[in-house]
Amino acid sequence: MNLSRRSLLGGAVALSISTLASLGEAETMATQGQDTRPIPTPAPRVARFEKLAFGMFVHWGLYSQLGRGEWAMNMHQIPAAKYKELIKTFTAKDFRGRALAKMAKKAGMKYITLTSRHHEGFSLYDTRGLSTFDVMHSPAKRDLIADFTEGCRAEGIIPMLYHTTLDWTEPRFENDFPAYLQYLRDSIEILCTHYGEIGGLWFDGNWSKPNADWQEDKLYAVIRKHQPEAMIINNTGIGQEGRLGNPEIDSVTFERGRPHHLNRHGHPKYVTGEMCHTMNFHWGVASQDFNYLSPAHIIEELSFARRAGANLLMNVGPTATGKIPDYEAAAFARVGDWVRLHGGEKGVLYQGRPTDISGEGEDFALEMNGDLYLFITDLTATSNTMAHGVTHRGAGARHFTGVTQAFKEAQWLDNNEPLKVDYDSSAKKLTLHATGYPYGTNTVVRVARLKA
Ligand code: GLC
């Protein structure tokens, strides 16, 4: 196990040269200037996923009883036999898929990705004889993936499933890797055949054995067979943001990294992006981690993900019994208020597409139905800059270049206040005269709509 890769506590991750080299088949999809090769059309599942925009990640398992994050077993070197005893106290008493779905909905999120099995090897679903280390062998004795998928659908939220590919407690992972991979495929087949339509499968852990043959084609074939419309994602992890591995993969990941534009020119397939982030420095609940993001920070992360056309998957770690923590519920709801102020469900946050227009600082533009939406950051001295450390600029002229068309009418989305716009066609430059926030308002990122 390459632990240096997983420096979850410090943030900075030392990726050894050999790890990078071993991912030699991976391809980076960074922007490449004036590429004229054609861009492939997204498959319907990918186009649909891009419009979901905002999702909730849920990390929950036996580790949640320890309150020290989902890596507790590994980080605190708990022997597997001892760790596995946590199954005896796992009641899932407060876990309700529907409550999670309601929380997501309130936040403006359209999907939830739940850890059906994390690195500890414990399954939240009935493995139907594949393993005794599953929820049916715990006091909970109910299939939590059934509860989750049904709860999501009842609220119009798309259920997706995270599944580990590495396993700390299944001996075959170390002793008989081909047999382990068959076990993994059989597990995925269960998830693909007993819970109705799943929005996507999200894998994580191939980085633990970078030189191994993971037989990814066989794994993904199971999904394509039973769930042809499911997104296939495989996390490349911290330090490998935006890397694409297997051609079946539909989205690259940006784990706690700022998504960048993907250059799709000349690619055989349209691949999208998703950034996952967590509320503090752990994914599973960590009762002594006070390092929480604010709603303002989440608003910025969501905005900057959309700038690159990527989704934001914001994580919450329920408590030992499956209760949603109060702070996360409140923070997510506050973000939902902001989402509704900016067009809600059918608005630019979901439907807006990235443009080649560049703004100054973190300002950027999205396009929707021919209208231009300018995202203005750092508008007041109290605006939030913690995510990227931009200096305060306040109200005044905001310049955008690469604008090929004049826009006449402009107004703030939040209060419809009209705004002055200048356009210089020879320089392809547009200037928005941004007013400040009226007292009582501070949306962190403020959006102006310009009509064609
Ligand atoms: C990392 C961690 C894992 C977490 C994942 C979420 O890969 O190992 O615990 O599930 O990030 O992106």
- The answer to whether the beta carbons of residues 80 and 133 sit under 8 Å apart is no
How far is the centre of ligand 1, averaged over its atoms, from the C-alpha of 185 (Å)?
Answer: 20
Residue of the CA atom closest to atom 10 of ligand 1: 283
Looking at domain 21-350, which of 3.30.70.1280, 3.20.20.80, 3.90.230.10, 3.40.50.2300 is its CATH number? 3.20.20.80
Residues of the chain with pLDDT under 50: 1-27, 31-32, 383
Q: Which run of H or E residues covers position 234?
A: strand 231-235
What atom in ligand 1 is closest to the CA of residue 237? 7
Backbone torsion region of residue 108, taken as left when φ is above 0, otherwise alpha when ψ lies between -120 and 50, otherwise beta: left
How much is the pLDDT for 345? Answer: 80
Mutate to test the pocket of ligand 1, among 204, 208, 254, 313 (most ligand atoms within 8 A of CB): 204
Task: Tell me the whole-structure pTM to 2 decimals.
Answer: 0.92
- The segment(s) of the chain belonging to CATH 2.60.40.1180 are 355-451
Q: Is the CB of 165 under 6 A from ligand 1?
A: no
* Closest listed residue to residue 309, CA positions, set 57, 58, 28, 42: 42
What's the CA gap between 163 and 108, in Å, rounded? 24
Helical axes 144-154 vs 97-106, angle rounded to 10°:
40
Residue spans in the chain of domains classed CATH 3.20.20.80 = 21-350
Distance of CA 106 to the CA centre of its chain: 17
Identify the residue whose C-alpha is closest to ligand 1 atom 12: 255
pLDDT at 393: 82
Fold of 355-451: Immunoglobulin-like (2.60.40)
Please tell me if the CB atom of residue 237 comes closer than 6 angstroms to any atom of ligand 1: yes
- With a 6 Å cutoff on the Cβ, whether 309 touches ligand 1 is no
Q: Do residues 55 and 109 lie in contact, with contact meaning Cβ atoms separated by under 8 Å?
A: yes
pLDDT at 192: 98
Distances (CA, A) of 277 to 41, 167, 313, 336: 28, 22, 6, 17
* pLDDT for res 35: 82
> What is the per-residue pLDDT for 389?
57
